[in-house]
Amino acid sequence: CLYIVKYQDFEESLCYFEMKQIFGKNISNNYFFSSTLIDPSRSPFIKHRLKILFTAQTLELLCQKLQNNSVSYRKYKYTYFNINTEMKFTDWNNAINSLRDSIIGAMDFNQPDIFLGLIQIKETWYFGEYCKNDTSWKYHDYKPNTNSHSLGIKLARALVNIAVGQNSHFKIIDPCCGIGTVIIEAVSMGLDIQGYEINWKIAEKAKENLTFFGIENLITHADMHDITEHFDVAIVDIPYGLFTKVVLESQIQIIKTSRRIAHKLVIVTFGNMDKELLHEGFTIIDQCQVKKGQFTRYVSICV
């Protein structure tokens, strides 16, 4: 598959970090190839996916391959996309017209059964089945209750992907879930997650947010230190005291309990807490920094 990602400058490190955890490889460009097939809408950064069926060095050879393999679609439509404007629309339009007689079936611009993609990268043409990010998850920004210091949906969605990678069966806990942003994103991906929130008022607001999106209540108003279940992974946006007084000792207790209740931890901190994580028995296996304005968030994966 060919994947194309899109991000703002300050999101680059987070995007590449997410791709590394999902696909198991480092990327350094806005496109990459992988044998892993995932829904582009799972990620806040993947914009296009082309499931590659045929490649060729020239259009003529590509047409021949399609004809030789009797490629057939009842009703299809091509979708234009590019990488760094390598391929202009007029050139792309001429290219798909060249392929018109190489596919059995008919183009249908209104109700196609499938979307197809064609792109030239360097000296190679790629043809396949196209899928785009439907961005339906952006609607989650319209939840009724928000906090100015809570995670944005892009970061929350990326954290969920960083936490589970390709392990969609993971049992996830967000023990300091706040207004439920991470919960909503995980549920929208079909994942198994629970949330805990110690503040009753915030927990109620989180439940209202879940109800707004038709999600059953997955949030417990309780102290995370009372959790007795064990989870595959915990996602923790550690309280940092912007609106409430949070001392280092409280943060260390959160880390300590995370060690007890989960095999793996993805933690977001406003400052380097490597020393504290290591002291509580965690091994930091990967890390990135997310900078925006004067703020820097550290995202660490620990086991």
H/E segment holding residue 263? strand 262-269
pLDDT given at position 111: 94
Over range 137-152, report the average pLDDT.
90
Count of residues for the chain?
Answer: 303
**Is-contact 54 65, C-beta < 8 A?**
yes
Query: For residue 166, what is the DSSP state?
Result: T
Q: What is the DSSP string of 191-215?
A: -EEEEEES-HHHHHHHHHHHHHTTP
Residue type, 270: F
pLDDT digits (tens, 9 = 90+) for 12-34: 999 999 999 999 999 989 999 99
Q: How far apart are CA 244 and CA 64, in angstroms?
A: 67
Place of tokens 């209750």: 145
Q: How far apart are CA 111 and CA 221, in angstroms?
A: 47
pLDDT digits (tens, 9 = 90+) for 40-64: 999 999 999 999 999 999 999 999 9
pTM: 0.92
- pLDDT confidence tier of residue 85, bands split at 50, 70 and 90: low
Residue 244 has pLDDT above 50, yes or no: no
pLDDT digits (tens, 9 = 90+) for 162-173: 999 999 999 999
pLDDT given at position 86: 67
Over range 200-225, report the average pLDDT.
96
